[in-house]
Amino acid sequence: MWLTNLFGKAKNLNSELATPRQKKVRFRLCTVCPEKRNDFVFLYLFKKKGVSQCSICKCALDDKILWNDEKCPISKW
């Protein structure tokens, strides 16, 4: 699992993109989620301001909502 978190999008090369409606719904749900972090942090060394991150699965939300086969770790979508 740590490997998929490390490479993010690479694990989804064979996946289909979510529909525009799915992306919009996911984005809205993630925006108000208390688990959303506003700045991306990886291993306390790599930080990227302005990139939203899920504090549970550690995925960048912009990438996570794009893929059809992704799931919210707390089943919101």
Instruction: Please give the angle made by the CA atoms of 66, 25 and 7, to the nearest 5 degrees.
Output: 25
Q: CA gyration radius for the chain?
A: 12
Question: pLDDT 10s per residue in the chain (77 long)?
Answer: 444 455 555 555 667 889 999 999 999 999 999 999 888 877 666 677 778 888 898 888 888 898 888 999 999 99
Residues 45, 50, 55, 60, CA torsion sign: negative
The DSSP-derived string for 4-72 is HHHHGGGGGTTSPBPPHHHHHHHHHHHHH-TTEESSEEETTTEEETT--EETTT--BHHHHTTBTT---
